[in-house]
Every structure is written in C-alpha cells, then in structure tokens.
Amino acid sequence: MIQIDSITLNKYFELEDKTEYNFVINYSHQFNEPIDEFSIGDFKNLSFGIIKDLQDDYSEGMTFEKMIDHITNTFNIKDIGKHNLDKVCRLIAYIRTSIREIMLVEAQSLAYESTSIDHDAGMGDFEVLGVYMQFHELTGGDITKYDSVRQTPYHLCFTELYTRKLIYDYQQRIDRLRRSTK
C-alpha cells in the first residue's frame, strides 16, 4: 500500500500532483469507512428537502467538490478545509452510504408495480419530474405547502408516502377481488 502523509483537505487541494492521494482516497479502507465524523446523525431525522437535494445530486453523480459544498452549506460544517483529509473522506463515505440506503429503501418500499395499461397510458412521462412527484403527493398538489414539506423530517414524510402506497395497494387488491367476483 502507498504510504502518504496525513494532510488537511486544504493541503490536498493545494497539491499539484494528487495521484497518490487520489489512489488512497479511492481504495483505502482508512478513507472509505463510512463514519459520522462530524455528528450529522441519522439521515432519516434530517429534513425531507435536504434528503431530496442530496438524492438528486447523488443521482446525477456527486463529485468530491460537490460533496464538500454540501458538507459546508447543507450541514453547516465550517472550516472543513482545516480538517484531516481522511476524516473528511470518511464523512463523505458516511453521507454517500446514508443516501444510498435511503434510496434503496425507497425503491423497495415505495415502488409501484406498473401494468401494461400504465405503460401504454404514458406513466413513464412522470419520470422527468423526479422527486417532485413525492412533494406533489405530500402537498396534495398545493404548491404553497412545498416549503413546509421540505422542512418536515424525512422519516415523517417517508412514513406518510409508505402509508399512502399501502392504502393504494390495498385498494387495488380490493378492486381486483370485486371485479373477479362479478
């Protein structure tokens, strides 16, 4: 394994040749173990808006620089550049892991099984709206409630979306049973 000096994030950005550090950042357990180094806490307790912003950026391919921007602005961790590079990288791994876990749970829990009728009717057209559809569902289409939903803890919004999905699935089963008994 490559031996590197312990440096701050600022020092890393000042390096002309980052090759060795980039290798270690990408492949070393010391730099990639997801640890909440700055006590952000459980992501499910963050606001729905923060989670959706992070998911959106993650889906687009969040760069190292964009992550630093989120750490500074979204999580309000000032002077991040003065901290050791390995510590910052572990925090980035924690953020990425937390977002991936939330996305996986949403994909498994909130996904609707579309039918050929849904497909033929153009259900895929809604994909362009991304996470906005979740806001639309939670606000009941009332755009004046958008900011309020953004501030609501993620876990409450997720629970409401999941509840609505369960109700929808139940209603679909009831409708199928009623149609089959006619």
pLDDT band of 146, cuts 50, 70, 90: very high
Cα separation, 145 vs 81, in Å, equals: 37
Question: Among residues 170, 181, 161, 129, which one has the least CA distance to residue 44?
Answer: 161
Element containing residue 27 per DSSP (H, E)? helix 19-27
Indicate the average pLDDT of the chain: 92
Reply yes or no on whether the pLDDT at 179 is more than 70. Answer: yes
Q: Tell me the average pLDDT across 147-161.
A: 98
Reply yes or no on whether the pLDDT at 120 is more than 90. Answer: no
Reply yes or no on whether the pLDDT at 159 is more than 90. Answer: yes
Give the pLDDT of residue 130: 79
Cα separation, 168 vs 18, in Å, equals: 52
Assess contact for 40 and 75: CB atoms under 8 A: yes
Q: What proportions of the chain, in percent to the nearest 5, are helix, strand and coil?
A: 70, 0, 25
Give the pLDDT of residue 1: 59
Q: pLDDT digits over 21-58, tens only?
A: 999 999 999 999 999 999 999 999 999 999 999 999 99
Q: Could you tell me the CA-to-CA distances from 112 to 93, 132, 163 in Å, in that order? A: 30, 16, 13
Burial 109-118 (b: 16+ CB within 10 A, else e): eeeeeeeeee
Sketch the domain layout of the chain as residue ranges. 9-109, 116-180
Cα separation, 63 vs 170, in Å, equals: 41
